[in-house]
Structure 1
Amino acid sequence: MTIDRIVLAVAGSLILISVLLAVFHDQRWLWLTAFVGANMLQSAFTGFCPLAILLKKLGKRPGPAFE
């Protein structure tokens, strides 16, 4: 699995989990959804993604987005 796919899987999972937590627990969990979305947006423009950097240091293979 490449870094790109891992980043997308983690971001998607965090968004789904935070929305479910907001529905069933407390609406303040939507701040996590907003943070993940903002991080994905800035990553699209700048190419900077903290998770991608961490995964690269852990030896994961980069994909086309985070080379």
Structure 2
Amino acid sequence: MGYGGKDALADPTDVQHTLDELKSKPELLYIDNYGHIDFILSVKAKDDVYGDLIRFLKSRGCSSSY
């Protein structure tokens, strides 16, 4: 689960509330200077987000057909 320090839609209080309500505990990715949309549109998302995401998916047996 990713969230950022400049995220107006998922502030730390909301994120903690969500985590408390989940039955499982997800792996977290916090990026201080990211807002909500930066996880998708940032020119640095490839380096900041997607490497960790691909590693996580591969560790769970997910693969790509590409």
TM-score by length of 2: 0.34
Q: Between Structure 1 and Structure 2, which shows a larger proportion of strand residues?
A: 2
Q: Between Structure 1 and Structure 2, which shows a larger proportion of helix residues?
A: 1
Structure number with greater CO (CA < 8 Å, separation at least 6) is: 1
TM-score by length of 1: 0.33
